[in-house]
Structure 1
Amino acid sequence: MSETRVGVDVGGTFTDVVLHTGDGGLVTAKVPSTADQSVGVVRGIEAACERAGIDSREVDAFAHAMTVSTNAILEGDGATTALVTTAGFRDVLELRRQDRPALYDLDAAKPDPLVPRRRRFEVDERVTVDGVETPVDEAAVRALADDIRESGAESVAVSLLHAYRHPENERTVASVLRDELDVPVSASHEVLAEFREYERTSTTAVDAYVTPAIDAYLGRSKPEVTERGVPTPRVMQSNGGIASAETVREHAVTTALSGPAAGVVGAGDTATSVTKKDGLVTFDMGGTSSDVSLVRDGEAERTTDAEIAGHPIGTPMVDVTTVAAGGGSIAWVDDGGALRVGPGSAGAEPGPACYGRGGTEPTVTDANVVLGYIGPDASLGGDLELDVDAAHDALAALADEAGLDDALAAARGVYRVANANMTRAVRRVTVERGHDPRRFALVAFGGAGPMHAGALAADLDVDTVVVPRACGVLSAYGLLAADEKHDAARTHQVALAEADPDAVAAVYDDLVGDVLADIADPDAASVTRAADCRYAGQSFEQTVSVSEFDPDTVAERFHAAHESAHGYRLDDPVEVVTLRASATVERDPLDVAYAGRDDPVTGTREAFFDGAYRETTVYDREALAPGAELGGPAVLDGRESTVVVPPVWTGRVTPDGTVVLERGDRE
């Protein structure tokens, strides 16, 4: 019998839980998120254990995804942070890059730096790419520590010039400050040992900014779960792998996209084997936003060029594009009379009008109620009773404001606008990066994703939609399937033709040592190596895999990768810029038992398709047996989500309960 695992993903509206029992049973739960996220986590675990009929002390492993880091950045309530940098460079965070958020808007504002100028301190030292020119004075750093203490800083970021290559001075500064101050200190050579000073400084500042929040949350959560017999959580990182709570506390910035990364991992785990497409477009529509990503060759696409709220983060993370279009997104009319959806959200409290908790503003969920996709007997989140009249009233008010005929017209408009927002996000990760979406399957999950997937697929000319069994809580499911993963990188810039294989091997040895240091059993880990390369003169890189460092092989891989991404290759010299290593410890695959039940049809209801209400067959999603087939229009009601099958689409149920939908009008 395998171990019993529980995964908990905290979202803006709901906290999702998946419990996998030792005998292959899969139990899900969804509870409203709470201001103190640890409260919702405990409630979710208790709800799942109660449904499974087990005591929480029977749980063997606990994996957790959270929004603590993201919320701290988005809401601007992270730690009071100080920055220590080389004399003359205190304004790097303020200067940023020369690009503008809106090219022709002379008044376009960039976000305020996470560290204001009054808490940015300078230290006399100088390092070049060739080595240390001016050593740092430890006595001066100790005196600087007094100024930092008086500033009220709760955390410190240290980012000195060229510390990615020669960290001696930065190591001294960080060591002294750790001795003198009782606050966390983030050093750039430990956080991101890569060139590009602004991005390295920004990433280090983000790490310092969110570290106290992560540390406090994990410290607060641990006794809450351990007193119920649940193991200390292992935490999902932005790179798609889990790590121990202790490791995450030391590298808090790695949790910036914890939840979305878990969803992509879950999509890849459940959908890769049920379709013969080139890859997967993952589509996660939750209560506040929608996240879109790609999975190719069974692996989630990753990036080191991401931003959250305008703050660059250079650590590896799953490449996710987010749009403010979720089930709770509020619909409104702009000054020009156009219907808009988002970015404002009704959240969990009071939530959409149909929640019956006092919300009156129209949302995407309310539109789905009016369109008949969500039935009057639906129990949203497991314990919320639907208020259909409130949804109609909210959409009717929106119709009056927008000059539309009635609530139905407003609902149709909201549904189409939300879909258009999400379609653009899919095009950004496919068409704009040289991928044809028609060659991919769309994997729909999140509480609202399967209701919109068919319409999105039709707009994109995609003919296959995959809806995993745990689609409403797939990020939580992904936590159970995720491997342990650690990354390390170091800039080592050299012309590929002039690269010294021994010097490169030495850097790789150091990186491998770094990634294995965080693993309890290094012998169980598999290690991969990669290199960021570019043509001489370029300012962007392509990452290629490296087994044994052979310049000719690396060059050919780079040429092929560049041609795939940009449509051409050059005869120009190739440079190596950054070397990377990753260590992965694979988890045992989940063995999920699924049988379905008899009589999956629960009735019919009127739902809106192709310009009119149509009588639509309603199924109990959990009752559909493996091998079952169905045709649209249909609605599959589940505990945490609803699947809408439009006309001309058909569906089949796989042995693990996944529903694969195919469009019948494709040529």
Structure 2
Amino acid sequence: MTGDDGDDSHPARLGVDVGGTFTDVALVVGDDLTTAKVPTTTPQHAGVLDGIREACAAAGIDPADVDAFAHATTASVNALLERDGARTALVTTAGFRDVLEIGRQTRPSLYDLDAETADPLVPRRRRFEVDERATTEGIERVVDPEAIRELADEIAESGAESVAVSLLHAYAHPDNEAAAAEVLREELDVPVSTSHDVLPEFREFERTATTAADAYLAPELDAYLRRVIADAADIGLPEPRVMRSNGGVADAETVRESAVTTVLSGPAAGVVGAAAVAEGATLGGAEAESGPPTGSAVTFDMGGTSSDVSLVRDGRVERTAETTIADVPLRTPTVDVETVGAGGGSIAWTDAGGALRVGPESAGADPGPACYGRGGSEATVTDADVLLGYIGQDAALGGDLSLDVDAARDALDRLADEAGIEAEGEGGGGGNADSDAPGDLDDATAAARGVFRVANATMARAIRSVTVERGRDPRAFDLVAFGGAGPMHAAALADRLDMDRVIVPGPAGVLSAYGLLAADETHDAARTLRLSLSDATAADLGDAFAELTDRVFEDASDPAAARVERAADCRYAGQSFELTVDAGRDAGDTGSAVDPDALAERFAAAHERAHGYRLDAAVEAVTLRVTAAVDVDAPTVSRTGSADARQGVRDVVFPESGTVEATVYDRDALRPGTGLDGPAVLAGTESTTVVPPAWDGRVRRDGTVVLERGDAESGGDDR
């Protein structure tokens, strides 16, 4: 270890992910992984230090021995969710003061006359107009610096703590916006965000909303990062690199300049970690002819309140250019995550027609599910997992919590009464419970089985939304399951979707922290062009991409080592929506040309895959995008296990097989190369894995469990 003898051959790499309830830490020294999970504190940076100290102590190193430190934060997303960001002022073109409230004129509930939308981040009293005008052709009326100085006085009197500047058509001609921002920075001692820096793309509402969000988040994120950096320096840690929503890390100074890019910091890290594990699980493995391509996976993160699903294709995380967080529309590159309100704490209930439902309301952490013994009385998915035998009666829930099985049974008994679910005997059942599984189930356990299946149906819809609804066959992907509850439900979900392989990472309970260690340094740039590809030349596109490439190289730590990816938002002429298509990769030749005909053909193929048809019509390239990534080698981890991980047997209920006797293993003690035959339960300290009948698996060298369904050819290995 570097702290003991100065040997740099075993670098220490640290990842810290701050969540709403827990702060997760992953520390890799050589090929040894140490994890820690500590309660998230207020202020959050104190919990970061607690987790780092705990992990370093367990690994036997001093924090000063850490060579690299990566961090994922919830500071930005919490500010949006709780609406406690900075008091923000908006400066916009005269006549456009209300663009944040007008929005896109879409209604969340079309036939609800009383439907309300969320208040904009900037109230009307702090929205200011400036007399200027730009069109798509150029500047028609320049901004008056004296008028901006007078405006600065009004902004100061409003008590604004930050300013967003979004002028009409500034994405194309930013001179007026830049001039206004320069004066405001001279006159005001607050951060100023400009739309031509934050989002140089067309569509006034999205550009203004994203710029306002950046200004709203900037002071809080800046203060948080300053505290983390100072605390890290105090104990000898290097300055952290920060995970952004796009699935890449950047230095803290760069992140400070674009606060809005951190809103999905934690979930993005989890998907990156899942992608790294998925690629490792298939590389070198024997693939069936119809098996999944190397490194292609659906990532499934099931927590206490919700489940997040994303897609990885050929080792590349799927991204999107827009998302909505807490009713705030944001256009910024993010990992494409689909979230549904089905987690371990999701409450089961019956609707007006007597049908069983699960979520989106959650029992939270306090009082939590009934089995927590903290006074919760409503049945949740976790209570169902307890009664089905997936969670053992002696399971430790963390902290001072212990399992209250009787409370879980009482809650599910009440749910059975409400839903008309009756006890089942051999081959039969009553009420509206499913009756296709043999076995003797009392009312409460029959209700638990129903809750399990309804929750799985909700999560299966999320997986279909990122696969089937986008022209992808889920059977061509692995399912990577993580989070506290994900590995319990993963095999049942795979059965529903005819997916043949489930991958459960070794650090499944802290995968976001582990993913930070596998994240590349990534930078994005975009520009709205609106160019007909039939009129464009290869040089035109090449020059436009070269300008964006130069921009991302300004932020890259090592431009010479950067891998450049180019994409374009394209559409048929007359359409009001675009599809993002690959425009080719560039190893560093910033002036390389892009064939417009080839780009048009890629768009037509993507349009046909997404919508089922293509048109004989002109194709427009609307917005060009460039991503520069400096690759980071994912950590290699090994585990040893123990002589005997078998803990015994217990009765477990499976929806299709009824009650069967399952072997219980200590997940953390499993040796690499160990073969597993279902039915089995792998009980871990951070999550539990359920292996149904007709499934089997193998433990990899890094502790990852690769499960295969039926007679699917094994792709797991013991590397």
Contact 1:560 1:569 in 2 (8 A): yes
Is 392-401 or 130-139 further displaced after alignment?
A: 392-401
Is 384-393 or 572-581 further displaced after alignment?
A: 384-393
Q: Give the corresponding residue for 1:623.
A: 669
Contact 1:178 1:184 in 2 (8 A): yes
Which of 5, 8, 31 is 2:13 aligned to? 5
State how far apart, in whole Å, the 2-side matches of 1:273 and 1:231 are.
Answer: 28
State how far apart, in whole Å, the 2-side matches of 1:58 and 1:350 are.
Answer: 40
Contact 2:276 2:634 in 1 (8 A): no
Q: Give the corresponding residue for 1:305.
A: 322
- Corresponding position: 1:291 with 2:336: no
State how far apart, in whole Å, the 1-side matches of 2:269 and 2:164 are.
Answer: 28
- One-letter amino acid of the structure 1 residue matched with residue 630 of structure 2: V
* Unpaired segments ≥5 residues, structure 1: none
Contact 1:70 1:257 in 2 (8 A): yes
Which of 2, 7, 22 is 1:14 aligned to? 22
State how far apart, in whole Å, the 1-side matches of 2:466 and 2:405 are.
Answer: 36
For these two proteins, the number of residue pairs brought into alignment is 666
- One-letter amino acid of the structure 2 residue matched with residue 620 of structure 1: D
Query: Partner of 2:569: helix, strand, or coil?
Result: strand
* 1:321 positional shift: 0.3
Which of 553, 556, 559 is 2:601 aligned to? 556
Contact 1:236 1:479 in 2 (8 A): yes
Matches within 5 A, 1:158-557: 158-275=165-282, 276-278=291-293, 279-381=296-398, 384-404=401-421, 406-547=443-584, 548-557=593-602
- One-letter amino acid of the structure 2 residue matched with residue 19 of structure 1: L
* 1:126 positional shift: 0.2
Q: Give the corresponding residue for 1:143.
A: 150
* Unpaired segments ≥5 residues, structure 2: 1-8, 283-290, 423-442, 585-592, 714-719
State how far apart, in whole Å, the 2-side matches of 1:367 and 1:313 are.
Answer: 37
RMSD: 2.1
State how far apart, in whole Å, the 2-side matches of 1:437 and 1:227 are.
Answer: 48
1:421-461 CA-partner distances (Å, limit 9, x unpaired): 21111111111111111221111111110001111111212
Contact 1:508 1:579 in 2 (8 A): yes
State how far apart, in whole Å, the 1-side matches of 2:62 and 2:153 are.
Answer: 51
State how far apart, in whole Å, the 2-side matches of 1:39 and 1:360 are.
Answer: 34
The two structures have a TM-score, normalised by structure 1, of 0.95
Contact 1:285 1:447 in 2 (8 A): yes
State how far apart, in whole Å, the 1-side matches of 2:390 and 2:43 are.
Answer: 32
1:205-248 CA-partner distances (Å, limit 9, x unpaired): 11111112211222232333332322222111111101111111
* 1:659 positional shift: 1.2
Is 616-625 or 85-94 further displaced after alignment?
A: 616-625
* 1:154 positional shift: 1.6
Query: Partner of 2:55: helix, strand, or coil?
Result: helix
Query: Partner of 1:488: helix, strand, or coil?
Result: strand
Contact 2:469 2:610 in 1 (8 A): no
Change (3 A) 1:586 1:450: same
1:6-62 CA-partner distances (Å, limit 9, x unpaired): 1122223322221111x2101122223334322332222222223222222222212
State how far apart, in whole Å, the 2-side matches of 1:604 and 1:359 are.
Answer: 29
- One-letter amino acid of the structure 2 residue matched with residue 368 of structure 1: D
Q: Give the corresponding residue for 1:568.
A: 613
- One-letter amino acid of the structure 2 residue matched with residue 599 of structure 1: D
Query: Partner of 2:534: helix, strand, or coil?
Result: helix
Contact 2:539 2:594 in 1 (8 A): no
Is 646-655 or 575-584 further displaced after alignment?
A: 646-655
Contact 1:239 1:261 in 2 (8 A): yes
Q: Give the corresponding residue for 1:99.
A: 106
The two structures have a TM-score, normalised by structure 2, of 0.88
- One-letter amino acid of the structure 1 residue matched with residue 637 of structure 2: V
Q: Give the corresponding residue for 1:589.
A: 634
State how far apart, in whole Å, the 2-side matches of 1:399 and 1:36 are.
Answer: 43
* 1:514 positional shift: 1.7
Q: Give the corresponding residue for 2:4.
A: none
